[in-house]
Every structure is written in C-alpha cells, then in structure tokens.
Amino acid sequence: MGASATTVSGGRSALERSPLSRLPDQLLQWILTALAAAILVLIGYFFVRLIGQSSTSINHFGFSFVFGNNWDAAHNIFHALPLVVGTLVTSAIALLLGVPVAIAAALFLTEICPRRVRGPLAIVVDLLAAVPSVVWGLWGVFVLAPKLLPAEKWFASTFSFIPWLGGGTVNLYNYFIAGLVLAIMILPIVSAIAREVISTVPSQDKEASLALGATRWEMIRMAVLPYSRSGITGGAMLGLGRAIGETIAVVLLIGSNPILGKHLFSPGYSLAAVIANEFGEAANEPIHKSALFEAGLVLFILTLLINIAARWFVSRGTHGKRVAGGAMTGVMLEET
C-alpha cells in the first residue's frame, strides 16, 4: 500500500476531514455553548438591572425598607414590613394546610392505592397544577371567599381568646383565604415530589418492618417516612418558593391593605401583590417605582435562596437522581 492510495490532492489523507467539513460541527458546538452560557449571563444581567432600578429606594430607605412598618404611597414612605409579613404569613398558611395533605396523598398513592387506580388518580392530582393562577383567583373571589365567610366568622368569634388566630373583624379577603388558595396551588408540586421520593424507598426496608409484624401504617412510619424525610422537606420548600412568588391569586384574595393585619382574617398585602397593584400608579413617581423594584428584588432573592436550599434537600433525599425538575414540568416523562 503506497501513500498514493490514501492521499488526495493537496497531500491530505483521505481519512482526514477537510477543515471546511468540520465547520458545521464547530459552529454547532459554539452556538450551543453560547446559548447555554447566555442563560447564566441572563440571570446575572437581570440581577444587575434589578439592583440598578432599586438603587434609589435602597439608598433612600436602607434597612428600614425591610424592617420598617409603614407602606405609605401617599407620602412616599416605603417600608415594606407589612408586605414581607404578608408574604410569609400566607406562605406559612399554605405550607401548614397544603404540605400534610400533599404528603398524605402521596403516601396513599404510592403505598396503599390499588395499582389499577394509581395511574389515573395521580394524573388527576397533577392536573391541579394545570389550572392557571388567575382561574384560582376567579374561583376564590366569587366562590370560595363568600362561601367560607360564615365559617371564618364563627372561627374568629369562637376562638377569640387565641391571639391573632381568633378575634378581630373578619374581612372577605384576608390572609387566611389567600393562604388557603395558595395551599391548593402548591399541593400538586409537593405531592409529585413526595411521590417520587417515597417511591425510592428500598423495598428491603419495608420488608424488614413487615417481617417484624408491623401493620401497614407502622411500616410507613418505620421505613418510609424516615427515609423520605430529606426529600419531602425539599419538596415542601419548593412549594414554599411557589407560594412566596405567587402574584395573581394573592393579589385578588389578600385584601390589598398596606397596613399590617392584626388577625388571621384581617386583610393584608404581599410583596408580589403590591407590585401588581401599584405598578400603574407608580409609573410617574420614581421613588415609588424604585420601591416596587426593590420589593421585586427582595422577592427574587428570597425565591432563589429557597429554591437552592430546596434542591439540596431533594437531591439528598433522592440520593442524586434528578427528580425535582420532572415534577415541576408536571408529567412523568421518565418511565421510572
């Protein structure tokens, strides 16, 4: 075999691809890498711009933005404590009401439910996530809030001796009703993640407890729950992140009152809600606008931190397998 058999004109070996034909591959790789990098750049850029827009407010109000209790648009005083409290209170209610139900439903679906019914039921629970937040708001405003008002009034008067939880005038739109609808909205996320985490419990642990003579519930308590604790916590935190950032349902149901509410059934405000509500009127007032952006910045940082912590918990709980994203997109694309 001489060299002539494998060379073409120009002295290149026929096995070597011409630089021109390598171009598409190089280009493709370059483009794809650039797009991927663009995402990181985008996030960073957003941070920078958001901080820029908030700077007037940050400089003006300093720490009392977050800790001061006075959101007074008329006088251009923007201390957002009532908003922060409102955000945290409604999210706490959402967690308290939503997480136990979500976990219980997840346990039912994975451990107790007969196999034939499991698939369809799971899909229905996941469908909760498909309902847009504005529709939850619609239903909440015209159906849930009025229907629950008598019960809320009864609760407030019967338990008026408990501070904050009871007593006070019951408003049609208040922390509770906003938190309740938020609970419904975070339920599918927490449940989907809980289901994935619970299904990773090794059957040998479950068999060990059954072989000791445990009842079904005792087996869940001994083998399933301790193992899933970490992952479920992560799921709950993702639900928390969702609750904190939810705008529309909250703004329609929380009462939009910038004064800090004194009771569970008082009207209040949240960071996201105030941005949605006051955006129009703030257009001409720079300090107001800047304060709204700062509220947005606080919101963004909060949700980022919670999400990062949540994913750490979930990855610990599922021992490395990426599940959180799958649950977020609402469908089990993976056949596991």
Q: Interaction with other proteins in 176-195: which residues (CB under 8 A)?
A: 184, 187, 191
Cα dist. 323→57, 126, 185, 326 in Å?
39, 15, 19, 5
Among 82, 235, 245, 268, binds other proteins (CB under 8 A): 245
Rounded Cα distance between 2 and 287, Å, is 81
96 vs 143, beta carbon nearer other proteins: 143
Span 268-327, contacts to other proteins by CB under 8 A: 272, 275-276, 279, 293, 296, 299-300, 303-304, 306-308, 310-311, 322, 324-326
Tell whether residue 96 is a contact of other proteins (CB under 8 A): no
Total residues interacting with other proteins, rule: CB under 8 A: 111
Residue type at position 264:
L
Among 238, 219, 237, smallest CA distance to 227 is for 219
CB of 182 to other proteins, least distance (A): 12
CB of 207 to other proteins, least distance (A): 7
Among 8, 96, 151, 331, binds other proteins (CB under 8 A): 331
Rounded Cα distance between 279 and 257, Å, is 15
Rounded Cα distance between 256 and 83, Å, is 10
CB of 53 to other proteins, least distance (A): 5
156 vs 223, beta carbon nearer other proteins: 223
Span 104-123, contacts to other proteins by CB under 8 A: 104-105, 107-109, 112-113, 115, 121, 123
CB distance 260 to 85 below 8 Å: yes
Rounded Cα distance between 185 and 247, Å, is 12
Q: Angle 153-271-299 (CA atoms, 0-180°, nearest 5)?
A: 135
Tell whether residue 135 is a contact of other proteins (CB under 8 A): yes
Tell whether residue 151 is a contact of other proteins (CB under 8 A): no
CB of 28 to other proteins, least distance (A): 5
Tell whether residue 198 is a contact of other proteins (CB under 8 A): no
Rounded Cα distance between 254 and 243, Å, is 13
CB of 172 to other proteins, least distance (A): 14
Rounded Cα distance between 336 and 323, Å, is 11
Tell whether residue 102 is a contact of other proteins (CB under 8 A): yes
Span 214-243, contacts to other proteins by CB under 8 A: 214-218, 220, 222-223, 226-227, 229, 238, 241-242
80 vs 187, beta carbon nearer other proteins: 187
CB distance 121 to 109 below 8 Å: yes
In the chain, where does DSSP find H-type helix?
Answer: 19-61, 64-67, 81-107, 115-127, 133-139, 145-158, 175-198, 203-211, 216-219, 225-245, 248-253, 271-282, 286-317, 324-328
CB of 266 to other proteins, least distance (A): 21
Span 16-55, contacts to other proteins by CB under 8 A: 17, 21-22, 24-25, 28-29, 31-33, 35-37, 39-40, 42-43, 46, 49-50, 52-53
Tell whether residue 153 is a contact of other proteins (CB under 8 A): no
Tell whether residue 329 is a contact of other proteins (CB under 8 A): yes
182 vs 263, beta carbon nearer other proteins: 182
- DSSP, residue by residue, 35-102: HHHHHHHHHHHHHHHHHHHHHHHHHHHTTHHHH-EEEETTTTEEEEHHHHHHHHHHHHHHHHHHHHHH
